[in-house]
């Protein structure tokens, strides 16, 4: 049997193996890359202590899934200009939030719970991921995730930290049908509200300065104050002085209604106050009788300082204090309503006041005294309108700056309440390069293994059925198979069949022993193989001292030369010198003639010539 | 193989092999190759076939090596080592060798042709490419600025033109929206001959942004009729180191300056001008005596006042030649320095840099000269422009440039 | 695009020659035996003049196309040098977002800065990619990484092929730097426009100056809080500058200017100003009444509070200094007392405002003014100049500090065509062409049939 030569088996199928592996690997690569997704992930951590109790800074439940809210995502879609390209829901479905639990805290929690103690721990670190398809690429995933977190940080701050917005409530005030004095009141109230919010901000972070607008909340408050002190008060005084109004009857009825409303409110407050006083008296009497109030100064509340005050969230005000505060609030409401009524009356007096310049005509007229008598009224009214417009423009610009400053402050707070532990990194859901390489090597191994198995199986079959065991050459059965296979085909040019028969083999067997005969056969085989060298030849031992050499890609002359050398080798042999060997050589080729294998073989048989190798005499052709 | 052959046997081997060869080789080849070789035996076991035929050894090997091998193996045993060599002194120029020599000649000529063609193509492409200028953007920072300031520098035009009346150049300068424009000299080749185009360009530039002009060697020598160095200046005015008057040169008649200023641009001759740009104040100082020999002797006071007054102002120094920056190292030249003159070394060789300047010779940057690009002068940026001149065919890999400098806070 | 196609065409042609030659050799090798095969390879003309010449010319042509092709691709590295970058923050403490490097605003700015023609923001943005130079992972803490260096890559498309790639990337990065500086770096300035003081009431001018100087002080105190020991090039600290400004505010504005105006009753429009102050007094008086009512009601509530309900218990705790302190539980009267005090303060404040206004009204009414107007105007101009001087000093100090702290804020390095890289490519290409041509040459020597 042929030696086990891996390279021989592989060589045979190598081109097919390579082509198959390349094509199949490309197929795998194509499939993997088409179905692959990119996942951008970022690790965020809530810095606030409350977060570990699952609470937001305001004490509400912290819901990290707000990152996936449509409020966040719709803003992202807007910012990135993806409206109409992606639906908000489809993008939300690609977000994944995975909590990272602190192993120490979890152990501590488990231990405490085992001991029956309450221990609240919620993870405060999360991996936020966003997946993009292979078509969208890795940058899309990274960019969207960045935007999502940007928006979320700002929203988190707006919702849980910096809750009171400083909105512009006087936008388009001049487009509505407000009277001048009403417009000024609205402006004044708006400034007042804005100032109180700004003072809250100043209290939170006195030195915070927006880098985009370049101003701090303190400066914004100063600006609003300045406008109020200078422009607003100048306008108020001008409106009062010149009794400037759009419609006196409407104004008068408006303020009269306000006074009436205040009176009604007062009636209600007075009744409420009486009721509260009654309840307070009853409450005190009952408490006094119960003896609950009999607490001495020696009583010391134990261990309160050791408890976390934040565990006691919610209003703990006692009922009695609530009753007292209610009384105070109602009384204050009543008193303030009286003062507000006085203010309204002052406005009414101002606008209905007759200086006498109109000769008292204003009392029965729908116009004010100044409108009737002052020549400058029209000019002053136009001036007031212009100044209100200017003031509104200035305030709008200032509100714009305030909003921008506030937005930046929200982003700043968001980033200080939530920190980024690892910035966005993108990975493939499947490592295409790695898996492609693995697939390639796997295919190579499988194909090579298959080739080796097939090759070796072929060897075994050949050895069992088609090998002559004396010479280790193919046997007659192989020749029959070969001839059958080539039966209906014409041979190519360059096919040469050569037959060598030991004609006196029986004689050698008889005279010198069967072993000598076998030796001679083996010697013939060796010399033949030696001389045909590495030409493309198949050697067949046809039995009974007959050899057939099927040579391809050769010619008659070459084989003839080889056989000439073969004869010389036989004549120069070192073994069995005393044995006279008679043999025949027949050669046939397909040169310029289309022949079948059988025909060529018969031709070779026909062309056989006899030779004798007797070392005492030279062989003759 | 039997390694113990006796000497007598060995002597016979060459003849045996030859006999066998003659016997085995085909008849048609026998005439060609018979008697074209000798066989020698080396050390009793190796064979050397010495070829002395007229055909090439290559052909001999091709035709006979296989048969020789069979013959040698038959006579001396399979695996006997042998080599085929040509007889010494018998080398004749075969047809193949002659063919090879011819091919070599063709190859050398071909290579020379290809090199010349490549060089011509490169020069032509450059020349065509140089018809257009490119814009080189620099970004410098200074804490003296609040918001970005843009300075555009034009240098060494030497009468070249981009579009009729430089309209293309003006259009780009306008589009780039500069805050200040500085022309760093040699805008004309000779002020005595043709200056109209420069004055027209000046008019166009002054309509875009405040424009400053400093003279280069071409303008200065033409206007004053002598080179501006200390020796010549001293000779001209009869000065020595004790009685020099810095203003003497500036008092000389200068019709070109009148034309330029008439066109709306400011010529800076050892003087500064202060302008407001956005919310910032900028001092622009132009050097006339840029030769290192006369820089201090003829402009020390002017330079001193520029440096020491209004230190908060952003200071730009415009000079035609960069030599004073190579020569001197004071504490402060300015916040930004711009100059030209070097034409970027005319040709710029990849990796090696600028090829040549008149003053620095070959590869001047290697000896520390400021030739092209951004350098550091007393800790502040110095920009050396390669200029806008485009008529030199040897200006290779060095497209004429319009320098755009953006000054930022950081 | 044209160079791209030609470059690919050249590679394809050479590739076809290589593959076809290799295939021919592979399939025809059976037509020769080993010795012949060796002979063919040994005798092949490796230095064939045509081969070398064609190889040389092809390489030059390829080199030219490759150069133009490479010119289309440039990349820059944007490094964040300020300290907050390592926490994934902008220098103002907000979250850093890498996508801003090529956001619409930046690209638009770049187009404007470079006066780039025939290109839209969208077209240019499509040619840009930004990604972190190093990215970590989220597997475990050791993989966490905050990126502070980002690569911006530009590859010219058909729409942007007319632009100089290196200039585009320079413009993008410098625009980003400008955008970043404007948006995220310390920023302070007062109103650059000088107000028309001739149209302003004198006392309003005082308020204006107070507002402006207070803004400078706020800025300086804020900077001082960040780094109180920072010393500027001229030896000042934020506190020392703030001290000067404060002193100036107190003496020049609050005392000198205010008192000069007040004592001389200087006013532009007496009636209007008096009306304004009167209105203010009226308005403040309403507030005062409300505050007074609230104060009174708090006191009444305390009176009402039943004695039995004021019982308290002691609570051991600690004070602000960390010392043990015996506190007590709060009851309603505590809260009411605090409220009452606050309202009392508001009332006092309202009353002071009214009194101040009355004083001004009295002074204006009782004093002649004309003689001092010019000196007040001069003083106003001088104060304005001084305020501007302080503003500049504060800004310069702040900028010095920012420069020191920000370490140039953002550094940009641009990587264009590398000559050595191009040479390497050319050598590889030349080798490829040479091998292909030699293979082609050799393949012709293999007979079609044995």
CA dihedral angle for residue A418, residue A424, residue A430, residue A431, rounded to 10 degrees: -140
Select the residue from C228, C239, C308 to test the A interface by mutation, using most A Cβ atoms within 10 A: C308
Cross-chain Cβ contact A564/B74 below 8 Å: no
Give me the pLDDT at residue C369, please.
53
Cβ-defined contact of C313 to A233 (cutoff 8 Å): no
The residues, any chain, with a CB within 8 Å of residue B291's CB and separated by 6 or more, are B227, B228, B229, B230, B321, B323
Q: For residue A613, give the H/E element and its range.
A: strand A609-613
Query: Are A349 and A476 members of one domain?
Result: no
C420 burial (CB, 10 Å; 0-12 / 13-18 / 19+) is exposed
Mean pLDDT of A309-329: 69
Tracing tokens 């308290």 back to the chain, one arrives at C312
Residue of C65, C178, C396 best to disrupt the B interface, most CBs of B under 10 A: C178
The pLDDT score that the predictor gives to residue B303 is 94
A86 within some domain: yes
Interchain pair C167, B410: CB under 8 A: no
Q: At residue C100, does pLDDT exceed 80?
A: yes
Q: Which residues in chain B have Cβ-Cβ distances shorter than 8 Å to C189? A: 146, 279
Q: Which of C56, C403, C408 sits opposite B111 (nearest CB)?
A: C56
CATH topology classification for C74-185: GMP Synthetase; Chain A, domain 3 (3.30.300)
pLDDT at residue B252, as a whole number: 86
Give mean pLDDT, residues C8-31: 88
Chain A residues in contact with B70 (beta carbon < 8 A): 531, 561, 565
> Cβ contact (<8 Å) for B135 and C164?
yes
- The residue of chain B with its CA nearest to that of C47 is B104
Query: What is the predicted pLDDT for the residue at C311?
Result: 67
Percentage of chain A modeled with pLDDT above 90: 32
How many angstroms separate the CA atoms of B202 and B263, rounded? 6
State both tokens at B57: 């050894």
Q: Residue B6: what pLDDT?
A: 56
In this predicted structure, what is the pLDDT of residue A309?
A: 46
Q: Please determine, for residue C189, whether its predicted confidence score (pLDDT) is greater than 90.
A: no
Contact A561 B23 (CB under 8 A): no
Residue A142 has pLDDT above 80, yes or no: yes
Can you spell out the DSSP letters for B266-298?
EE-SSEEEEEEETTEEEEEEE-S--SHHHHHHH
User: pLDDT band for position B115 (50/70/90)?
Assistant: confident
Q: Does C118 touch chain B (CB under 8 A)?
A: no
Quick check: B268 and B283 in contact, CB under 8 A? no
Instruction: State whether A530 and B67 contact (CB < 8 Å).
Output: no
d(CA A181, CA A198) in angstroms, rounded, equals: 25
Q: What is the DSSP letter of C96?
A: P
Token duo for residue A292: 């609950």
Strand partners for A43:
A127, A422
| Residue B94 banded pLDDT, cuts 50, 70, 90 | low
Specify whether A492 is located in the same domain as A604. Answer: yes
Number of domains in chain A: 3
Residue C215 has what DSSP assignment?
H
As a CATH number, domain C267-368 is: 1.10.287
Same domain, residue pair A369 and A474: no
Nearest CA distance, A498 vs chain C (angstrom): 18
Tell me what pLDDT residue B138 has.
94
- Return the percentage of chain B with pLDDT > 90, whole number: 46
> Cα A97 from chain centroid?
11
- Chain C hits for B137, Cβ within 8 Å: 114, 167, 170-171, 174
Band of the pLDDT at A302, cuts 50, 70, 90? low
Cα distance from B282 to chain A (closest Cα, Å)?
24
Kindly identify which residue of chain C lies nearest to residue A228, measuring between CA atoms.
C280
Q: How many CB atoms lie within 10 A of CB C268?
A: 16
For C39-53, how does the pLDDT look when each residue is reduced to its tens digit (9 = 90+)? 888 888 887 888 888
pLDDT band at residue C1 under the 50/70/90 scheme: low
Pick C167's closest partner by Cβ from B135, B408, B410: B135
The CA distance from C350 to C345, in Å, is: 9
d(C-alpha C184, C-alpha C178), whole Å: 10
Chain B residue numbers touching A530 (CB-CB < 8 A): 78
CATH 1.10.287 residue ranges for chain C: 267-368
pLDDT score for B4: 44
Q: Taking 60 as the threshold, does the pLDDT of residue A619 lie above it?
A: no
Give the percent of chain B with pLDDT over 70: 95
Contact A565 B74 (CB under 8 A): yes
- Facing residue for A293 by CB, picked from C97, C137, C311: C311
Q: Which of residues 305-324 of A touch C (CB under 8 A)?
A: 305, 318, 320-321, 324
Give chain B positions within 8 Å (CB) of A214: none
Instruction: Give C-chain residues touching B410 at CB under 8 angstroms.
Output: 177, 181, 185, 402-403, 406, 408-410
CB nearest to A568's CB, from B26, B67, B74 = B74
* pLDDT given at position A164: 64
- Binary contact (B26, A561; C-beta < 8 A): yes
A312: pLDDT strictly greater than 50? no
Least CB-CB distance to B78: which of A530, A557, A568?
A530
Name the pLDDT band for B3 (thresholds 50, 70, 90): very low
Question: In 3-state terms, what secondary structure has residue C357?
Answer: helix
- CA-nearest residue to A573 within chain B is B74
Asked which of A402-411, B179-188, C361-370 is least confident by mean pLDDT, the reply is C361-370
How many pairs of residues across B and C have Cβ atoms under 8 Å apart? 81
Q: Could you tell me which of A153, A121, A203 has the C-alpha nearest to residue A42?
A: A153
Cβ–Cβ gap A565/B26 under 8 Å: no
Task: Collect all residues from B whose CB is shorter than 8 A from any CB in A.
Answer: 20, 23-24, 26, 67, 70, 74, 78
3-state class of A442 per DSSP?
helix
Measure the CA–CA gap between B242 and B236, rounded to whole angstroms: 15
Residues in chain B: 410
C327 pLDDT higher than 80: no
C124 DSSP 8-state letter: H
Q: How far apart are CA C213 and CA C219, in angstroms?
A: 10
Q: pLDDT tens digits for B227-265? A: 888 888 998 888 888 888 888 888 888 889 999 999 999
pLDDT at A82 over 80: yes
Mapping DSSP to helix (H, G, I), strand (E, B) and coil, where does residue A149 land? helix
**Do C74 and C416 meet the contact criterion of CB atoms below 8 Å apart?**
yes
Report residue A22 CA to chain centroid gap. 31
Please give the pLDDT value at position C65: 87
Residue holding tokens 């400004």?
C245
Whether residue A146 and residue C26 make contact (CB cut-off 8 A), yes or no, is no
Distance from C-alpha of A210 to C-alpha of B208, rounded to nearest angstrom: 35
Fold topology of B133-408: Purple Acid Phosphatase; chain A, domain 2 (3.60.21)
Query: Sorting pLDDT into bands at 50, 70 and 90, what band is A453?
Result: very high
pLDDT higher than threshold 60 for residue A313: no
Rounded to a whole number of angstroms, the distance from the CA of B57 to the nearest CA of chain C is 12
User: pLDDT for A590-616, tens place per residue?
Assistant: 866 667 888 888 888 988 889 988 876
Domain with CATH 3.30.300 in chain C: 74-185
C25-32 LR contacts (CB < 8 Å, sep 24+): C25/C439, C25/C442, C25/C443, C25/C446, C26/A15, C28/C443, C28/C446, C28/C447, C28/C448, C29/C446, C30/A536, C30/A553, C30/C450, C31/A553, C31/C446, C31/C447, C31/C448, C31/C449, C31/C450, C32/C446, C32/C447, C32/C450
> Which chain A residues are closer than 8 Å to B67 by Cβ?
561
- Mean pLDDT of chain B, nearest integer: 87
Strand partners, A129: A41, A96
**What residues contact C446, with CB distance under 8 A and at least 6 apart?**
C24, C25, C28, C29, C31, C32, C40
pLDDT band for C450, please (50, 70, 90 cuts).
low
Q: Are residues A474 and A360 in the same domain?
A: no
B339: which strand partners? B384
Give the torsion through C-alpha atoms of C91, C92, C96, C98, to 10 deg.
-60
Domain carrying residue A63: 37-160
Tell me the pLDDT tens digit for each residue of C129-177. Answer: 999 999 888 888 888 999 999 999 999 998 998 999 999 999 999 999 9
- Does A11 map to a domain? no
pLDDT band at A89 (very low <50, low <70, confident <90, very high): very high
Sequence-distant (≥ 6) Cβ neighbours of residue B399 within 8 angstroms: B129, B130, B132, B133, B134
Provide, as residue numbers in chain A, all residues whose Cβ is less than 8 Å from the Cβ of C272.
Answer: 234, 237-238
Interface check B312 vs C, CB under 8 A: yes
Of A349, A373, A397, the domain-final residue? A373
Q: How many whole angstroms separate alpha carbon A570 and alpha carbon A564?
A: 10
Q: Can you tell me the mean pLDDT for B387-407?
A: 92
Among A239-248, A476-485, B11-20, C213-222, name the one with the lowest average pLDDT. B11-20
Residue A553 covered by a domain? yes
Neighbours of chain A (3+ CB pairs under 8 A): B, C
Question: CA of B74: which chain A residue's CA is closest?
Answer: A569
Is residue A348 within 8 Å of A256, Cβ to Cβ?
yes
| For residue A311, pLDDT beyond 50 | no
Q: Is residue A45 part of a domain?
A: yes
Mind listing the pLDDT tens digit for each residue in C249-269? 999 998 889 888 888 888 888
- Does some domain include residue A453? no
- Hey, which residues 221-280 in chain B have their CB within 8 Å of chain C? 279
> With an 8 Å Cβ cutoff, is B168 touching chain C?
no
| Residue A56 pLDDT class (50, 70, 90 cuts) | confident
- C174 touching B (Cβ < 8 Å): yes
Task: Say what the pLDDT of residue C137 is.
Answer: 86
Averaged pLDDT, A333-354: 89
Residue of higher predicted confidence among A296 and A73: A73
Measured in angstroms, the CA of A52 and the nearest CA of chain C are apart by 19
Class for the domain spanning B7-86: alpha beta
- Which chain B residues are within 8 Å of A572, Cβ to Cβ? 74
């Amino acid at each position: 049997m042929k030696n086990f030569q891996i390279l021989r088996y592989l060589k045979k199928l190598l081109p097919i193996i390579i082509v198959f592996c390349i094509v199949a690997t490309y197929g795998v690569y194509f499939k993997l890359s088409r179905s692959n997704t990119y996942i951008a992930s970022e690790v965020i951590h809530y810095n606030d202590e409350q977060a570990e109790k699952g609470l937001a800074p305001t004490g509400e439940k912290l819901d990290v899934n707000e990152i996936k809210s449509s409020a966040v995502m719709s803003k992202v879609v807007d910012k990135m200009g993806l409206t109409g390209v992606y639906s908000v829901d489809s993008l939300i479905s690609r977000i994944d939030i995975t909590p990272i639990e602190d192993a120490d805290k979890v152990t501590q929690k488990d231990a405490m719970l085992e001991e029956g103690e309450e221990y609240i721990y919620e993870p405060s670190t999360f991996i936020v991921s966003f997946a993009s398809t292979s078509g969208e690429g890795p940058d899309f995933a990274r960019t969207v995730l960045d935007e999502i977190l940007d928006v979320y940080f700002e929203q988190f701050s707006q919702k849980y930290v910096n809750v009171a917005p400083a909105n512009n409530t006087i936008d388009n005030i001049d487009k509505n049908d407000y009277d001048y004095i009403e417009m000024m009141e609205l402006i004044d109230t708006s400034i007042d509200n804005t100032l109180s919010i700004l003072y809250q901000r100043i209290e939170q972070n006195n030195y915070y300065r927006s880098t985009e607008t370049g101003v701090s909340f303190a400066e914004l408050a100063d600006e609003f104050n300045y406008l109020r002190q200078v422009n607003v008060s100048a306008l108020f005084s001008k409106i009062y002085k010149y009794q400037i109004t759009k419609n006196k009857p409407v104004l008068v009825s408006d303020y009269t209604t306000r006074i009436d409303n205040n009176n009604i409110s007062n009636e209600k407050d007075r009744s409420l106050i009486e009721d509260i006083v009654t309840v307070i008296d009853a409450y005190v009497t009952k408490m006094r009788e119960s003896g609950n109030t009999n607490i001495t100064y020696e009583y010391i509340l134990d261990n309160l300082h050791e408890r976390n005050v934040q565990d006691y969230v919610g209003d703990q005000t006692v009922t009695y204090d609530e009753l007292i505060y209610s009384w105070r609030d109602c009384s204050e409401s009543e008193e303030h309503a009286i003062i507000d009524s006085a203010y309204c009356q002052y406005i009414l007096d101002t606008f209905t006041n007759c200086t006498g310049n109109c000769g008292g005509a204003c009392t029965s007229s729908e116009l004010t005294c100044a409108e009737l008598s002052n020549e400058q009224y029209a000019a002053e009214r136009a001036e007031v309108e212009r100044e209100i417009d200017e003031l509104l423009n200035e305030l709008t610009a200032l509100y714009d700056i305030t909003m921008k400053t506030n937005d930046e402050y929200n982003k700043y707070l968001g980033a200080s309440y939530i920190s980024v532990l690892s910035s966005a990194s993108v990975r493939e859901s499947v490592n295409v390069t790695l898996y492609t390489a693995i697939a390639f090597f796997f295919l190579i191994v499988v194909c090579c293994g298959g080739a080796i198995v097939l090759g070796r199986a072929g060897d075994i079959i050949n050895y069992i059925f088609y090998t002559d065991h004396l010479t280790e050459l193919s046997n007659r059965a192989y020749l029959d198979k070969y001839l059958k296979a080539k039966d209906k085909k014409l041979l190519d040019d360059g096919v040469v069949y050569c037959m060598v028969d030991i004609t006196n083999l029986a004689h050698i067997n008889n005279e010198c022993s069967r072993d000598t005969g076998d030796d001679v056969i083996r010697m013939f085989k060796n010399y033949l193989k030696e001389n045909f060298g590495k030409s493309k030849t198949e050697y067949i031992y046809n039995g009974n001292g007959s050899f057939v050499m099927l040579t391809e890609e050769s010619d008659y002359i070459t084989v003839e030369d080889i056989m000439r050398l073969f004869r010389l080798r036989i004549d120069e042999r070192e073994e069995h010198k005393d044995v006279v060997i008679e043999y025949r050589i027949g050669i046939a080729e397909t040169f310029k003639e289309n022949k079948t294998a059988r025909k060529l073989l018969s031709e070779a048989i026909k062309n056989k010539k006899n030779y004798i190798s007797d070392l005492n005499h030279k062989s003759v052709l | 193989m039997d390694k113990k052959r006796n000497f007598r046997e060995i002597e016979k081997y060459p003849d045996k092999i030859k006999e066998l060869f003659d016997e085995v080789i085909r008849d048609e080849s026998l005439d060609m190759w018979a008697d074209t070789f000798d066989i020698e035996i080396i050390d009793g076991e190796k064979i050397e076939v010495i070829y002395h035929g007229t055909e090439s050894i290559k052909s001999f090997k091709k035709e006979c090596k296989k048969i020789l091998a069979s013959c040698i193996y038959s006579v001396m045993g399979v695996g006997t080592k042998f080599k085929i060599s040509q007889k010494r002194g018998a080398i004749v120029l075969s047809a193949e060798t002659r063919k090879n020599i011819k091919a070599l000649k063709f190859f050398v000529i071909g290579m020379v042709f290809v090199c010349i063609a490549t060089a011509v193509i490169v020069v032509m492409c450059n020349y065509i490419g140089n018809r257009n200028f490119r814009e080189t953007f620099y970004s410098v920072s200074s804490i003296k600025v609040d918001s970005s300031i843009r300075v555009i520098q034009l240098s060494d035009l030497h009468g070249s033109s981009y579009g009729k009346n430089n309209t293309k150049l003006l259009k780009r300068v306008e589009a780039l929206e500069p805050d200040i424009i500085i022309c760093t000299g040699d805008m004309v080749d000779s002020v005595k001959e043709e200056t109209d185009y420069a004055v027209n360009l000046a008019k166009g530039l002054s309509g875009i942004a405040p424009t400053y002009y400093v003279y280069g060697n071409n303008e200065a020598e033409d206007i004053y009729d002598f080179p501006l160095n200390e020796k010549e200046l001293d000779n001209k005015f009869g000065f020595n180191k004790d009685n020099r008057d810095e203003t003497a040169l500036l008092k000389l008649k200068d019709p070109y300056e009148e034309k330029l200023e008439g066109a709306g641009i400011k010529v800076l001759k050892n003087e500064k001008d202060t302008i407001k740009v956005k919310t910032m104040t900028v001092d622009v100082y132009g050097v006339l005596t840029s030769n290192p020999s006369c820089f201090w002797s003829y402009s020390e006071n002017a330079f001193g006042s520029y440096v020491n007054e209004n230190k908060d102002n952003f200071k730009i120094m415009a000079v035609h030649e960069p030599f004073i920056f190579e020569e001197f190292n004071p504490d402060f030249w300015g916040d930004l320095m711009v100059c030209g003159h070097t034409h970027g070394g005319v040709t710029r060789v990849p990796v090696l840099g600028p090829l040549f300047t008149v003053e620095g010779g070959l590869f001047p940057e290697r000896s520390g000269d400021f030739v092209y690009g951004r350098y550091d002068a007393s800790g502040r940026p110095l920009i050396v422009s390669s200029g806008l001149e485009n008529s030199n065919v040897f200006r290779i890999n060095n497209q004429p440039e319009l320098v755009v400098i953006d000054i930022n806070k950081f | 695009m044209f160079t791209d196609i030609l470059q690919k065409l050249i590679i394809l042609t050479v590739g076809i020659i290589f593959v076809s030659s290799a295939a021919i050799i592979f399939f025809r090798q059976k037509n020769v035996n080993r010795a012949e095969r060796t002979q063919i390879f040994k005798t092949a003309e490796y230095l064939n003049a045509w081969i070398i010449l064609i190889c040389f010319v092809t390489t030059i042509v390829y080199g030219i196309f490759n150069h133009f092709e490479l010119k289309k691709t440039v990349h820059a590295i944007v490094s964040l040098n300020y300290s907050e970058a390592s926490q994934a923050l902008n220098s103002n403490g907000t979250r850093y977002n890498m996508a801003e490097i090529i956001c619409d605003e930046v690209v638009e700015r770049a187009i404007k800065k470079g006066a780039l023609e025939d290109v839209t923001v969208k077209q240019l943005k499509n040619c840009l990619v930004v990604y972190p130079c190093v990215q970590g992972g989220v597997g475990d803490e050791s993989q966490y990484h905050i990126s502070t260096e980002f690569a911006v890559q530009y590859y010219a498309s058909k729409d942007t092929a007319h632009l100089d790639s290196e200039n585009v990337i320079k413009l993008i990065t410098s625009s980003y730097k400008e955008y970043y500086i404007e948006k995220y770096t310390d920023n302070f300035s007062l109103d650059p426009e000088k107000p028309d003081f001739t149209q302003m009431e004198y006392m309003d001018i005082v308020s204006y100056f107070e507002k402006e100087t207070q803004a400078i002080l706020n800025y300086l105190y804020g900077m001082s809080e960040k780094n109180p020991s920072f010393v500027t090039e001229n030896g000042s600290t934020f506190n020392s500058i703030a001290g000067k400004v404060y002193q100036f505010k107190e003496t020049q504005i609050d005392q000198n200017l205010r008192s000069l105006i007040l004592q001389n009753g200087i006013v532009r429009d007496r009636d209007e100003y008096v009306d304004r102050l009167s209105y203010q007094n009226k308005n403040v008086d309403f507030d005062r009444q409300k505050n007074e009512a609230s104060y009174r009601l708090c006191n009444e509530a305390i009176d009402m509070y039943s004695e039995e309900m004021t019982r308290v218990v002691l609570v051991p705790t600690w004070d602000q200094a960390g010392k043990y302190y015996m506190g007590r539980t709060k009851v309603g009267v505590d809260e009411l007392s605090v409220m009452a005090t606050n309202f009392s303060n508001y009332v006092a404040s309202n009353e002071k405002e009214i009194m101040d206004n009355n004083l001004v009204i009295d002074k204006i009414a009782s004093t002649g003014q004309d003689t001092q107007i010019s000196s007040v105007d001069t003083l106003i101009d001088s104060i304005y100049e001084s305020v501007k001087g302080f503003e500049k000093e504060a800004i310069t100090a702040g900028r010095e500090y920012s420069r020191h702290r920000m370490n140039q804020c953002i550094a940009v390095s641009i990587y264009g065509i590398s000559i050595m890289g191009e040479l390497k490519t050319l050598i590889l290409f030349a080798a490829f062409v040479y091998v292909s041509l030699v293979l082609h040459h050799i393949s012709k020597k293999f007979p079609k049939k044995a």
